[in-house]
Amino acid sequence: MEVGINDYIEAEHFRAICEDAYNVSRTCEWEKNSMHHIHNSCEILLIEEGVTDYYILDEKYHLDPGDILVISAMHHHVRQMHTLPYLRYGLTISPDYYRSFIFDPNLLRVFTTPSPADYEKYYKNVPKGDFSHLVSLVKALYAEQTSKSAENPMKNMMEKALIQEIAVTLYRTFRMQERNVIIDPYQEERMGKIRDYINTHYKDELSLESLSDIFYMHPSNISKYFHRYCGFTLNQYINTVRVYEAQKLLETSSKSIAVIAEEAGFGSINNFIRQYKGILKKTPERYRKDFRAFLLSSSHKNGQHMPIL
């Protein structure tokens, strides 16, 4: 079985990262380029070659071969490469997907960005046996991803089983310890519904007061529980979702900045530019120009292939 390094249309790859339940890739950069990105899936990177720095929510993570990095969904990240080629396996998983069959709150911590201190202690210099085992699991998941259901009975069950095994292996590799996590299933469900509502109604006027009326909760309770269960303040999440939707429009359309601001739910173009630059560290116009240059550069590398062994 083979998969070409960057042997796909970049726009389709970004679509898969943002829309598919999960996606496995093995990619390589042969030229130094920076990347500003945000997506609604968790990303797990297994580094084979190259040295690079990632900045996640402005915190620095230095990656060497044999390191593993986890980036939470909706966490803005910047990549700066130092040595080439930069070769890594990537696994992106939608939170809605993995939460549909992984329920243990301790195991769910695997899908969150580690603190810089925990990363330095547990995510770097992963034992070769653990790293190789994770690569083998990712390859097996890729085989399921690219197979047809008619050829592989119970395909959906096998995919979930492999993702669970990857999660447990990561939990052990990162030497995580069980915590006495107090979870209120009722509040967790309600916060999930509010999050889903924001994801689909980001164009509407959204505030603590409006969501309080819709979900029959006191605004202070929404504020308290939303941050606890979603990792963002309510306003942070609303703005991040809107910026994410704007990013997709900037990548896939030629619409004006003003039109994109309106379609992403921002009341004014000035607020849109301010929020976009605050989260993605670039103006919308600069992001569009850099993304198009990245696509042009990537189009020259699609002829280089390396198999998933």
214-230 pLDDT tens trace: 999 999 999 999 999 99
Of 224, 190, 247, 195, give the one whose Cα is nearest residue 15: 247
The mean pLDDT value of the chain amounts to: 90
Among 38-47, 179-188, 213-222, the least confident range: 179-188
Non-local (6+) Cβ contacts of 295 within 8 A are: 10, 11
Q: List beta partners, residue 70.
A: 44
Residue with tokens 């079985």: 1
Side chain identity at residue 120, one-letter code: E
* Cα torsion angle, 234, 236, 237, 243, sign: positive
Work out whether strand 59-63 and strand 77-93 pair parallel, antiparallel, or are unpaired.
unpaired
Report the alpha-carbon distance of residue 45 to residue 71 in Å, rounded: 8
Rg over CA atoms, the chain: 20
pLDDT of 212 higher than 70: yes
Domains annotated for the chain, with CATH where assigned, are: 10-178 (2.60.120.280), 185-294 (1.10.10.60)
Residue-wise pLDDT tens digits, 101-121: 999 999 999 999 999 999 999
CA atoms of 156 and 97, how far apart (whole Å): 12
pTM (2 d.p.)? 0.90
User: What phi and psi, each to the nearest 5 degrees, are found at residue 7?
Assistant: -90, 60
Residues 160, 166, 169, 175, CA torsion sign: negative
> Do 191 and 225 contact (CB within 8 A), yes or no?
yes
